[in-house]
Amino acid sequence: MDSSTVRLGVGGAAVVGVAFGMARYAYGLTLPDVRAEFGLSELLLGLIASGTFAGYLAGLMCVPYVAARFGTRAPTTVGGLCGVAGAATVALAPTPGLLAAGAVLAGSSAGWVWAPYSDIVAAMVPVRHRPTLLAVITTGTSGGLLGLGMLGVIATLTSWRLAWTGIALAAAVAAVINLRTVPRLRPRAGGPATPRPPLRRSMVRPLAYAVVYFAACTIYFTYASDAARSGGLAAAAGATLIAVIGIGGLLGLRTGTVTGVIGPARAGAACLVVVGGSLALLALGRASLTMVLVSALLFGAAYMVGSAVLAIWTAEAVADRPGDGFTVALVVGAISSIVAPAAVGAFVPALGLPAVLQLIAAASVLCGVLLWLLDRFRPTGASDRSVVRAERCAETGVET
């Protein structure tokens, strides 16, 4: 890869890392402290969590129009500003209302920043390097989770508000890095009226995968720290768990290789099975630090590989409009993320958190197995991959 490609990877990984690894999931890390300080009910805590993903969805919906008018880098800049303003608002919030507003704004930053990189990478990077670079940018989330874990440890010694202060500062730094490393690309021809959902048959399975994947991952991030606390572990266990997720997520750097061997559908299916297993371990072993950290390590690997799989899968399914295809998948996933925490918040008082986590774990594993079998007996993904291989061959002159 040349220097401009490396710079793009660095800038994208920084922005995605802060928006996804920190701003999007900090609420789950600080949820026990928020409950204690403001005295909020389980239902209200779940609704605020859902609200953060509603902000994420709002950002996603605006991306195509902002990119069409101002260029694909513009949404990433807006996302950085939302991360700064939202995290700062939470850090200073004197009331639950302001806290919720700040958390929603911070959550929206992730919606603004991820999808545009599919178009940026498609415009700047040769086909043969795109899966690897998309995986690198997506895996920036692992660095963000490591940073969030360290902030969480500091917060346990001081105040949970310091974690949000650190996120605001990190978002400001990432926004500057993004402006310096990612070039400003021209808006697409046709202006704001151009974007439209590329709803094609090739998108059916990626969208189904997105529904289950986002719901399961959202529940894990929202309730993992709370599960560890309710199991009797120390306050620092939640922060350590987040950091271990980041370490496990470094496996996402190999997603391009994995999908090249078994295809994105089977890679995604395997991720759903592992996410389900990690939820089950969390529910059954929440009183054991070892079990909780093993769960976090497995979840981190499946979460980051699963995220990169979605980017690669939609880029193959809609090769002519990868950014729009990825945005549609993220919108579907965001809706799933909005519903999931609110539903869990409603059922936890009646069933208990461990039982709810086990039910979600079983559903994730079952969907993963079904997706694997569907790809085995109806391998439509092979035709998608053949298109990519043909493009690589045409560009490089080498059969892949």
pLDDT of residue 385: 47
Average pLDDT value for residue range 111-132: 81
CB atoms within 10 A of CB 207: 18
φ, ψ dihedrals at 134, nearest 5°: -60, -40
Between 363 and 25, name the one with better pLDDT: 363
Residues 261-279: tens digit of each pLDDT = 888 889 999 999 999 999 9
Across 2-11, 222-231, 278-287, 331-340, the highest mean pLDDT is recorded for: 278-287
Percent of the chain having pLDDT more than 90?
31
Cβ partners under 8 Å of residue 151, min gap 6? 22, 162, 163, 166, 167, 239
Between 14 and 393, name the one with better pLDDT: 14
Asked whether the beta carbons of 275 and 303 are under 8 A apart, the reply is: yes
Three-class DSSP labels, the chain:
CCHHHHHHHHHHHHHHHHHHHHHCCHHHHHHHHHHHHHCCCHHHHHHHHHHHHHHHHHHHHHHHHHHHHHCCHHHHHHHHHHHHHHHHHHHHCCCHHHHHHHHHHHHHHHHHHCCHHHHHHHHHCCHHHHHHHHHHHHHHHHHHHHHHHHHHHHHHHCCHHHHHHHHHHHHHHHHHHHHHHCCCCCCCCCHHHCCCCCCCHHHHHHHHHHHHHHHHHHHHHHHHHHHHHHCCCCCHHHHHHHHHHHHHHHHHHHHHHHHHHHCHHHHHHHHHHHHHHHHHHHHHCCCCHHHHHHHHHHHHHHHHHHHHHHHHHHHHHCCCCHHHHHHHHHHHHHHHHHHHHHHHHHHHHHHCHHHHHHHHHHHHHHHHHHHHHHHHHCCCHHHHHHHHHHHHHHHHCCCC
Domains and CATH numbers, the chain: 3-396 (1.20.1250.20)
Confidence of residue 18 (pLDDT cuts 50, 70, 90): very high
Average pLDDT value for residue range 126-153: 83
Q: Measured in whole angstroms, how far is the alpha carbon of residue 116 from the centre of its chain? A: 14
Which tokens is 254 given? 């190999």
- Closest Cα to residue 276, out of 367, 372, 210, 344? 367
Percent of the chain having pLDDT more than 70?
90
Between 24 and 81, name the one with better pLDDT: 81
pLDDT of residue 1: 62
Q: Is the pLDDT of residue 396 over 50?
A: no
Lowest-confidence range among 136-150, 164-178, 192-206? 192-206
Rounded distance between C-alpha atoms, residue 277 and residue 298, angstroms: 8
Confidence of residue 391 (pLDDT cuts 50, 70, 90): very low
Residues 46-101: tens digit of each pLDDT = 889 888 888 988 988 888 888 888 888 899 999 999 999 999 999 999 999 999 99
Residues 312-369: tens digit of each pLDDT = 888 888 877 776 787 788 888 888 988 888 888 888 888 888 999 999 999 999 999 9
State if pTM tops 0.85.
no
Asked whether the beta carbons of 126 and 333 are under 8 A apart, the reply is: no
Lowest-confidence range among 85-94, 161-170, 249-258, 293-302? 249-258
Between 358 and 2, name the one with better pLDDT: 358
Cβ partners under 8 Å of residue 141, min gap 6? 16, 17, 20, 21, 246, 249, 252, 303, 304, 307
Average pLDDT value for residue range 221-233: 85
pLDDT of residue 358: 94
Rounded distance between C-alpha atoms, residue 77 and residue 83, angstroms: 10
Confidence of residue 171 (pLDDT cuts 50, 70, 90): very high
* Cα angle for residues 272, 274, 279 (degrees, 5° grid): 95
Cβ partners under 8 Å of residue 2, min gap 6? none
Q: Is the pLDDT of residue 387 over 80?
A: no
Which tokens is 328 given? 């549609």
Between 292 and 130, name the one with better pLDDT: 292
Average pLDDT value for residue range 279-305: 92
Rounded distance between C-alpha atoms, residue 16 and residue 250, angstroms: 14
Average pLDDT value for residue range 287-291: 91
End-to-end CA distance of the chain: 18
Asked whether the beta carbons of 381 and 375 are under 8 A apart, the reply is: yes
Average pLDDT of the residues of the chain: 84
Asked whether the beta carbons of 243 and 324 are under 8 A apart, the reply is: no
Confidence of residue 198 (pLDDT cuts 50, 70, 90): low
Asked whether the beta carbons of 206 and 310 are under 8 A apart, the reply is: yes
Q: Measured in whole angstroms, how far is the alpha carbon of residue 359 from the centre of its chain? A: 22
Please report where in the chains the tokens 């976090």 appear, as a residue.
296
